[in-house]
Structure 1
Amino acid sequence: MAQAILRRRISFTQHSTAEMAVASEILQKLQRDINCLEDDDRSTRKRAIEKISSETVGRRDQLNQDELQDLFKAIIKPLLKRFSDPVEKCRQLSIKLTSSFLSKVKNYGDILPYLIPCVRSRLATPEIVEPSEEIRLQLMKLLLNLCNWCSSNDLAVYLDDYVAIIQRCIVDPFPDAKKESCNCIIAYANLIPSEKFQLQSESLIKPLTVSLAHQHSKVRIVCLKAIGVTLQKGSISPLNDILPSLAQRMLDHSPSVRSTLTEILANWMMNLMDRYSYFHKILPLLLTSQTDELPEIVELGKKLYDKVGEQYEKENEEELKDQLDYENPTLSSASRPRLGCRVLVQRNFSKILPALLRDAADWTVISRIKSTALLHVLLIHAEDHVTQHIGSLLPGLYKACQDDEKVVADQSESCATVVGKHVHPDIFVKLVLNAIKSASGGGGATATASSLGSCLRVFAAMLKECDTEKLSSHLQTICSTLCHRDICMTELMPCQIQLLHIVKAIIKNAGINCKPYCKDLFKILIYILALQSNEGLHNQIEETLSELASCYETNDRLHLYKLFMRDLLTELKGDHGIWVSSSPERYVFECLLRSSGPVVGQMLDIAIPILISNLNPEKDPELRLKFFTLFSNLLVNANMTLNSEGTFIMYIEGVIADAIISNCVWKAGRAAAAMRTAAMSCLWALLQSGLATYEQLSDLLDEILTKVKSCIDDDNQSTRLISCKVLHKLLQICETKLDADALHNLYPDLLKRLDDNNNEIRVVVGKTWITYFSSFPSPYNQSLYSAHLKAIYNGLLIHLDDPYPKIQEIVLEILKCGGKLHPSLLKEQVEQVHHKHRVRTYCDELINYLQGLMNDDS
């Protein structure tokens, strides 16, 4: 063996001697070129570098490592001087040649003491010494390659130099130089021992943070990776300072940046040395990935966090053993986060929630959107652990639900749904109901759409998935509270919508078990129906009423009116004497009468007195106008509303006397005129319905005719028109039961209306005249009343020559009808005016007609 060792030593010595000889020979050949590196001529220096390269690293017959090592040692100093050559090409070639040597040699101990300071002098100065971006990039690549070529021991001693260089180059204006600097950090941190890297790692965080906002996404990505390695291999204390910048990158417009950050955060959660102390800081950022707009990043975030939770379970296996073995079967599902993920959130929730609620009220929209989305994810993981934080959480949800940004409000509603699913109703019902009372004005405040609406919205969301059995004991309290007039009588649309959602949630949750509270729910729905002004909401309420009726095994919502309408009307009757047009109770009363269909016929004993009372002439004109409109609409289809039970006829006399006639008295002003029009319209609807008979009207007939005659001469055109129709209908109802004096009192006003400036009124009066002549009793004393007939005939004959042809035709029919009373008198009157008429055709026709009547009589 000794002989073998001796032979190897002799062989090695001979081999080394041979290599040294080769290197010496090459150095002798290149000595002039080495000297030329200092020449003043730029071309000479350039050719010298190229010559040295071709005779060393660029030889066809390649030299071995030892030969190159000897050559590199000999030329390193003059070569490094060319790093600061005034000619860019020379600097580029010298750096390239140096890199080539470094890639081929194996011993760097004699090289690095010269190389590293030289590079530092070019890159780590306060002002940029190396003007060329490409040269700076080339030098950074050289430093990066050193991390791959050299050992940890070789480079660890140059920590200060590396950090100084990287600090300066991270903020280099050249993007590629920034990227190489970050890659250099990653490589160097992974190469040297962590205990050494920690000494200087903190100084790298500030320039890295600055570069996080660079416009190029690739720069931001590699910068994030560098931060990830720096904090993991070095000191973690800068994490607090860099969190705001990392949070901004979670909102980065580049998906690659967001996914990269997600991977880094998950890695920290699993591999940071002191990670348990920083879970509450890293966790919100990692879970934010589950709120990303891209499904791919959401899936990535869930997958990585699942791994984090799995590792946490293993690390705390003894502590979590019971929970792992006895999972709640009612909550178990494929979408439920694993136990480790949930426990991580639950143990850090108290530290995360306050800041998150502050961000949910931030002035920037994107912060509010992301905060409420993150809160939803946290609540899913926290489950019933959120109970102990309900006092601070609910006010935050109320405020977020009234956000102007729809996305924020919707996400907050989703948060409330999760809370309602996991928190016991014993805890949240009382808290939310108190908030609703306070927001409605019950707590001394004034109700607003935002405050009351947001409280109701949160409550509606919490009831959606609340446990049915647990909620049942609170239904009475909920329903009775919501029935309070300050809440259910709100005219604010957002509040009405949320009240409807609450009722829907109760019906869906309790089903047939809500039967004991149907009256309260019906009352709430009616109040919403009465005060809303949206057609879409109206349809939803009708559907909900049908759903509520299903508690009684029927879909007919009229069944609910039969059960509860009388009680509601009785409640309303209590203060009906002080209603004004804007009173919510007035709207509710009107809604009940309009929407109850035939059921209203069963409630006349309560409804009619309220109607009559509010049609008192002393009441507000606008209020009376509303009630006249309601009454008229109900009378249009009276047999399916007021008279559905056939009992309305008992109230007709009182309605006419106390409600209609009393409002026909002439008073000055437009309001009084409008009231007379409304009263006449209501009387017309009543007479048109066919419910009123002569026997019912007989006692009031004189008073009615007096008021109708007054209104026929009203200044308001609509009043005159309707009054003519009313008189026409009255004459039809009375048939021939009116005495002659009553009829004679009417014709002066009818003649006057033939001179009306509105042709529509004149046409209606013409029809009334025909009915008028049909109403004369038989027999009629012609000789006794000839003066009246003569006045009637003379007045009508004027309009037989009317400029309006239609009036001429109508008057001709009137005279033919009226001529039957006294043909000879009318014939005489026609002959007297015949020559005065412009169009005598009608006179001739009338004379012939009357002559025929006279011939028949004879």
Structure 2
Amino acid sequence: MSFDLDTNQICSDLESSDHRKRGSTLLKLREICEHTPDSVGTDAIAAEFDELYLHLLKCYGDRYENVRDRAVLAVSAFLKRLPPLDFHLLNVVSTLAERMGQTETVEPSEEIRLLYIEQLHLMLRKYALMGNVGVFRECYPQVVKVLIKAIKDAYAAVQREGCATLVQLCRVADTAELRPFTESLAVALYGMLNHRHSAARIAAIEAIGRVSLHLDASGEGMRRLLAEVSPLLMDSMPLVRRECGLMGVLMLLELPDRYSYFERILPLVLCCLKDDSPEVLSHIRPLWEKCGVQYYEENEAELSQQEIGDLPVENYPAGVQRPTIGCRGLVQRSLRLLQLITRETSDWKDNVRLHSLKLLYQFILHAEASMTAKFFEIYPHVSHACCDSEPIIAAEAKKVADLMGRLLSYDAWIDHGFDGLERNARESFLKCFYYMFTASLGGTYEHLQRLGKLLRCTDYSHTLKPGFQLYILKTLDTILDKSSKVTASMEELKDLYLNIYVTAMKVMALSYALHNEDTEDVQRGQMILKRLVQLQETSLAKLHESWFGIVLLDVDNLDAALDENAEPVLLLYGLIHLGKIRSTYLPQLIEKIKLVFQHCCDTAQVRIFSILSIAALSWSETVTVEREQSTQLLSNFITEVVEPHLPWRAGAHGEAMRSMAMATLCAVAQGAKEEAREVLPALANHMPSLLEDRNVTTRHYAIKAMCYFQGMSVEAIKPLAYAIMQRMDDPSAGIRVIAATAVGKLRPVFKTEGTKEELEYEHEVWEAFIKRALDILLLYHESPEKEMQAAAQRSLIELAKLHPAAWEESYQRALGMARRKDELVEFYAQMKINDAQVETETN
């Protein structure tokens, strides 16, 4: 088939007033051109096109859309077969510029505008393949106008095709010829970076990357270009972020003045190396290594010398691939950018803070020990980020701090780290230091001791912030870990362990006092104490006995009107809970308690008294000294702490303190039973009024304590006995039950010396009380309250065994007045059976 057209007829048809005829002619012409075999020479096609092109290009402005559409497709079909002639190029480009390069939108159809830009793209590809792109130099102004219009088009497909066409132009254009237009092209592309379609953003980034290779590097254009693209490193679409990385790789490899812009280009690539999407990381990493290879080849003389002493880091982070020496060299020469990165770690936007920390991580990973010189600058920013309100950002800051500890030169940064802790006693700085110090291999005895003393000081160990407390304890754990690797004498280690013990105790005490329960911090602190016990080869009790008094020395400022939530009061409260009462520091503890009672607010006094009453329950377990010494300690404790608050005082505070004093006395009676037998009788004169106190809690503890008043003479115990008996009529059911129980436990000590009358008188007095008690207990035996009935039965059994005659007499009296005689008779018979069993077993 030859390419022989009736050009006159075709031209006549294209001039026809019938748009359908024009359209059909264009369609037919396109089909002929597309189906012409390759054997037909381009000269023949060019000859026909010379006759037709004016009529074809005129149809670009036809009023009917289908005619314009077919005209563009027909010309494109010809262009694919034509040789690259300037004549045809200039005419087609001029027509496209008229239709699409104007300020206003001449072509209303989005589809045809897309065909226009596709046609321009086709010509660029055709001329580029033939190595004759230079023919475009005369029409660059028109081409650029078309491209800018396409990039700003409202139709996304036109915009993307415009970007692709611009990429093609930049690939083949001479920089000197294209440079005058690059600024306007770049500005047009910036408007697409916020496009709602990710494909449009990707196309724009690719085009900007290509334009940057021709941009004048001496002006502000390059800085603006990088500034416009950088926010897209935080784009929600992974492919957009990947395109930013590809742009950075392109500039690192091909930008003529890349050495001047390394520090601004590197973030585009490094951010992709820490991207959450595997497809971004896997695509960019090999290209980044290619950049490193090129940089190494360009600076081989310098880097080859550095490579000789480039030993691997001993505690390199697990699972992290070490960058090549070329990649590291690229970053190490660009550390000036750190100031900008660290400033963004405090940005108000969460994603900006996270992005900057990820970028900082990559800088540290590549710079390694070279970053040590910048430690003083980045330390405050990383510390602040460690306490970020967003957990994901705080976790990233932790990774950065950990990496710093591993890769930075320990001897160079440790002093600056300590200075930061000393100047800024805050959780943020401690967190950052903890991650660095734990990850590092360094740590001499002097450093451990310095850190231990620093944490022991009030600015740290007296904090009331739970997060701060947690990291103090974590740091103590790290000190213990590193203490096994240092060279030090036993005495030096003992000093170190002492600081750890004091700090841990204070932190645990405050943590417990703030929550009134054993928190995770308290449990962590207990684990530290267990480690100290193992290291010291001792027991926890002995550890407390040896060092707890030193902790009490740090409880100061109690001589002020402090409330219950003041730090010294909380500290003392928690320490009493943890250490309990022990013989070695009891006098010292009493002095601290007396200061609270003398100076602090009412609520603080009650709070300390409450924890003291709980600690007193463990007296026999914690005061492990001889009986005589323990009794003396108990006597001093009661005399100085408890007894002053037993007498009646007016007011709610006096009432609360009496109640707490009585609770402590009751706890002591239970916790130190043997010692209490000797000490409690001295307080007998206080008990009658306490048994009748208006406060039900005070009466409750008082009557409960009476069960432990033993070894008293009849004369001393008589008023207490009758006072207890009266409590069986108390409004409180609980007190009535305890009173019924206590009556059966009273055991006086009768005189063994004296006249017969005196001895008989004592027995008569006590016998009268027993009879009265039995009568009342028999009365309550019929009580509808089950607990009261059971308590009365228990006491009746106790007293009946000791006083059988009085029991028989009381039983006979009660039998005549009992409402439920059957139950009383049954109870009496049961007691007889039990007595017979006891006698049989005894025989």
Q: Which amino acid aligns with 2:464?
A: E
Larger radius of gyration: 1
Match of 2:364 among 371, 379, 387: 379
Aligned to 2:836: none
Alpha-carbon distance in structure 2 between the residues aligned to 1:612 and 1:92: 98
2:294 is aligned with 1:294 = no
- Which of 525, 528, 531 in structure 2 is aligned with 1:544? 528
Match of 1:708 among 687, 694, 697: 687
The residue that corresponds to 2:189 in the other structure is 208
Structure 1 contact 615–659 (Cα < 8 Å) conserved: no
Number of the residue aligned with 1:340: 326
SS of the equivalent of 2:293 reads helix
Structure 2 vs 1, CA of residues 618 and 377 (structure 1 numbering), >3 Å: closer, same or farther? closer
Q: Flag the 1:437–1:200 CA change in 2: closer, same or farther, 3 A.
A: same
**Residue number in structure 2 paired with 1:723:** 702
Q: For the Cα contact (< 8 Å) 1:635–1:642, is it kept in 2?
A: no
What letter corresponds to residue 341 of structure 1 in structure 2?
C
| Contact 2:555 2:572 (8 Å CA) reproduced | no
Find the aligned partners of 1:847 and 1:107 in 2 and give their Cα distance.
131
Tell me: CA distance 1:752–1:77, structure 2 relative to 1, closer, same or farther (3 Å): same
Distance 2:179 2:17 in 1: 46
CA spacing shift, 1:829–1:262, aligned 2, 3 Å: closer
Contact 1:163 1:200 in 2 (8 A): yes
Q: Is the 8 A contact 2:7 2:48 kept in 1?
A: no
Question: How far has the Cα of 1:60 moved from its partner?
Answer: 8.1
Deviations 1:468-505 (A, max 9, x none): 26x44433332222221222111211221121222222
Deviations for 1:248-303, whole angstroms, at most 9, x for unmatched residues?
22122222222222122112111110100111110122111122111332343333
1:686–1:206 distance in 2 versus 1, CA, 3 Å: same
Matching of residue 518 in structure 1 with residue 497 in structure 2:
yes
- State the secondary structure of the residue aligned to 2:194: coil
1:492 is aligned, of 465, 468, 482, to 465
Match of 2:837 in 1: none
Decide whether aligned partners of structure 1 residues 78 and 752 sit closer, same or farther in structure 2, where only a CA change above 3 A counts: same
Of 392, 417, 431, the residue aligned with 1:407 is 392
3-state SS of paired residue (2:524) = helix
What is the match of residue 177 of structure 2? 196
- Match among 668, 674, 677 for residue 692 of structure 1: 674
Tell me which residue corresponds to 1:313: 296
Tell me whether 99-108 or 324-333 shows the greater mean CA deviation: 324-333
Matched to 2:299, the amino acid is N
| Range 507-516 or range 788-797, more displaced | 788-797
**Cα gap change, 1:711 to 1:429, in 2 (>3 Å):** same
Q: CA deviation at 1:165?
A: 0.6
Separation of aligned partners in 2, 1:302 and 1:48:
55
Judged with a 3 Å threshold, the aligned counterparts in structure 2 of structure 1 residues 235 and 559 are, in CA distance, closer, same or farther, namely farther
Shift of 1:54: 5.9
* SS of residue in 2 equivalent to 1:172: coil
Distance 2:90 2:765 in 1: 147
Q: Which residue of 2 aligns with 1:104?
A: 81
**Structure 1 residues 246, 686: closer, same or farther in 2, change over 3 A?**
same
Distance 1:550 1:271, change over 3 A: farther
Paired position in structure 2 for 1:136:
113
1:811 Cα deviation after fit: 5.4
Distance 1:561 1:579, change over 3 A: farther
Deviations 1:629-686 (CA, angstroms, capped at 9, x unpaired): 4444344343321236654223122223332222211122333223222222222222
Q: Quickly say closer, same or farther: Cα 1:594–1:149, change in 2 above 3 A.
A: closer
Counterpart AA for 2:519: E
Query: Could you say if the C-alpha distance between residues 322 and 49 of structure 1 is closer, same or farther in structure 2, counting changes exceeding 3 Å?
Result: closer
1:653 corresponds to 2:635: yes
CA distance 1:457–1:67, shift in 2 (3 Å):
same
- Which one of the candidate residues 653, 658, 671 is aligned to 1:671? 653
8 Å Cα contact 2:561-2:599 kept in structure 1: no
Cα distance in 2, alignment partners of residues 191 and 826 from structure 1: 123
CA shift digits 1:792-831 (9 cap, x unpaired): 6776676566565765676577678778999999988888
Segments of structure 1 that go 5 or more residues without pairing to the other structure are 1-18, 441-451, 853-858
* In 2: Cα distance, 1:425 partner to 1:84 partner: 75
Letter in 2 for 1:480: K
Matches within 5 A, 1:136-285: 136-150=113-127, 151-236=132-217, 237=219, 238-285=221-268
Instruction: Write the letter of the residue equivalent to 2:713.
Output: L
Determine the C-alpha separation between the residues in 2 that align with 1:808 and 1:505: 61
C-alpha distance 518-799 of structure 1, shift in aligned 2 (>3 A): closer
Task: Check the 8 A contact 1:773/1:817 in 2, yes or no.
Answer: no
- Name 2:665's counterpart in structure 1: 683
What is the deviation of 1:560?
Answer: 4.2
Gaps of 5+ in 2: 513-517, 753-758, 834-843
Shift of 1:551: 4.1
State the alpha-carbon separation in 2 of the partners of residues 606 and 540 from structure 1.
Answer: 29
Give the match for residue 83 of structure 1. Answer: 60
After TM superposition, the structure 1 stretch with the greater mean CA deviation from structure 2, 398-407 or 842-851, is: 842-851
Name the structure 2 match of 1:463. 437
Q: Using the alignment, how far apart are the partners of 2:415 and 2:802 within structure 1?
A: 83
C-alpha separation between the residues in 1 aligned to 2:828 and 2:586?
58
Q: Check whether the contact 1:601–1:648 (CA below 8 A) recurs between aligned residues.
A: no
Alpha-carbon distance in structure 1 between the residues aligned to 2:676 and 2:143: 114
Give, as a single letter, the amino acid of the residue that structure 2 aligns with 1:679. Answer: A
- Contact 2:505-2:551 within 8 A present in 1 as well: no
1:603 corresponds to: 584
Match of 1:757, SS state, is coil
Which amino acid counterpart does residue 739 of structure 2 have in structure 1?
A: V
CA shift in 2, pair 1:405/1:31, >3 Å: same
Q: Identify which of 768, 791, 801 aligns with 2:742.
A: 768
3-state SS of 2:56 partner: helix
SS in 2 for 1:754: helix
- Asked whether the equivalents of residues 365 and 407 of structure 2 are also in contact (C-alpha less than 8 Å), the reply is no
Q: State the identity %.
A: 22
Say if 1:69 and 1:105, in contact at 8 Å, map to a contact too: yes
TM-score (norm 2): 0.86
Structure 1 match to 2:713: 738
Are the counterparts in 1 of residues 559 and 596 from structure 2 also a CA contact under 8 Å? no
For 1:327-365, what per-residue CA distance to the aligned partner results, in whole angstroms no more than 9, with x for missing partners? 235459683322222222222112x11211221111111
Q: Which amino acid aligns with 1:211?
A: M
Amino acid at match of 1:769: V
Displacement of 1:591 in angstroms is 5.0
1:418-470 Cα offsets, whole Å, 9 max, x none, are 33334455554444434434434xxxxxxxxxxx111111221221133426x
* Contact preservation (8 Å) 1:823, 1:850: no
The separation in 1 between residues aligned to 2:390 and 2:502, in whole angstroms, is 32
Residue pair 2:583, 2:633 contacting (<8 A) in 1 also: no
Counterpart in the other structure of 2:839: none
d(CA) in 1 for partners of 2:205 and 2:673?
A: 86
Number of residue equivalences: 804
Preserved CA contact (<8 Å) 1:359 1:371: yes
CA distance in 1, matches of 2:669, 2:544: 28
Paired residue secondary structure (1:157)? helix
Structure-2 change in CA distance of 1:780 and 1:674 (3 Å) = farther
Deviation, 1:711, is 1.3
- How far off its partner does 1:326 sit? 1.9
Other-structure match for 1:479: 452
CA distance in 2, matches of 1:59, 1:816: 127
Shift of 1:83: 0.9
Equivalent position SS for 1:40: coil
Query: Aligned partners of 1:642 and 1:399: how far apart in 2?
Result: 47
